[in-house]
Amino acid sequence: MYTDLKNKVAIITGGSKGIGTAVSERFGKEQMKVVVNYHSDEEGAQEAVELIEKAGGKAIAVQADVSTEEGNQALIDAAIKEFGNLDLWVNNAGMENRYETHKLPLEEWEKVTKVNLTGVFLGTKAALNYFLEQDKKGNIINMSSVHEQIPWPTFAHYAASKGGVKLFSESVAMEYAARNIRVNCIGPGAINTPINAKKFEDPEQLKTTTSMVPMQRIGDPSEVAAAAAWLASEESSYVTGITLFVDGGMTLYPAFQGGKG
Ligand code: NAD
């Protein structure tokens, strides 16, 4: 637990399931005040709110589409109205779908990049404006992926969006570092969430994915949430512009395991 997080106000996008819910629950344990954003799964968002409150925090659920400027504005308005402040914005919402690139419809490219990359830009912009207007220090965490670094055939649009998140975050981190606004990414590897549910139900696919992880297991969303809590806290006060990979070693070129190559 990080004592400085108590009563800090956070927005988390895409909080109705998966990593977003795990981060929400962890923020609850840190006794934070949390705006849990959801797109369509109101029930999931309410469950996240209950987890936060049961753990000792405060929370509200707010519907918004993070790929729009109005959606992000609605989130900050809700944080100010309900909690009177904002300390941390976590751009977590994301989506993926598989397409061979020569068959990838333009609408799918636009859908994925709009949520994964434009959404991160819009959330970051809204947070920056608030921190600058209030002349206060601020913290932004962007949920990237190991695929900001590892190419992913048939998910080229997803990889492009996460590669964009990395350089966007590094640029913004540098731009606002002197104003005491930190911007970092988390790069999850293979984590057990609804985005992967179908894949991991298939024993063959599960085996294939596990074999690509030096630690030989799939990650738990709470392990990503632990990284978010550290980046949110003052324990990481001198850290900006990084991607903290939470991937069991997936980014370590596991094909070379055992001295192969
Ligand atoms: P998930 O599918 O369980 O959750 C994604 C969340 O984003 C959902 O709540 C969904 O409703 C929300 N969302 C999608 N579009 C939205 C929109 N327009 N507005 C608001 N919310 C929207 O996925 P997850 O595994 O929990 O992923 C969370 C983040 O972590 C994503 O950015 C994903 O790319 C990233 N990630 C996940 C993994 C993994 O293995 N699970 C690995 C690397 C990166």
pLDDT of residue 157: 98
Q: Is 158 a catalytic residue?
A: yes
Catalytic residue among 2, 38, 99, 158: 158
- Multiple choice CATH, 3-244, 1.10.3720.10, 3.40.50.300, 3.40.50.720, 3.60.110.10: 3.40.50.720
**How many other β-carbons are positioned within 10 Å of the β-carbon of residue 60?**
17
What's the alpha-carbon Rg for the chain, to the nearest Å?
A: 18
pLDDT tens figures, 199-213: 999 999 999 999 999
pLDDT tens figures, 135-181: 999 999 999 999 999 999 999 999 999 999 999 999 999 999 999 99
Ligand 1 atom nearest the C-alpha of 65 is: 19
pLDDT confidence tier of residue 117, bands split at 50, 70 and 90: very high
pLDDT tens figures, 97-116: 999 999 999 999 999 999 99
Please give the Cα distance from 149 to 159 (Å, whole number).
8
Please give the Cα distance from 222 to 144 (Å, whole number).
16
> What does the mean pLDDT of the chain come to?
98
Domain-by-domain residue ranges, the chain?
A: 3-244
Per the DSSP assignment, residues forming a β-bridge with 89 are 11, 140
Protein residue whose Cα sits closest to atom 39 of ligand 1 = 191
Please give the Cα distance from 83 to 27 (Å, whole number).
15
- 178 Cα: distance to centroid of ligand 1 (angstroms): 31
- 217 Cα: distance to centroid of ligand 1 (angstroms): 20
Number of H helices, E strands in the chain: 9, 7
Ligand 1 atom nearest the C-alpha of 15 is: 9
pLDDT confidence tier of residue 77, bands split at 50, 70 and 90: very high
pTM over 0.95: yes
- 160 Cα: distance to centroid of ligand 1 (angstroms): 16
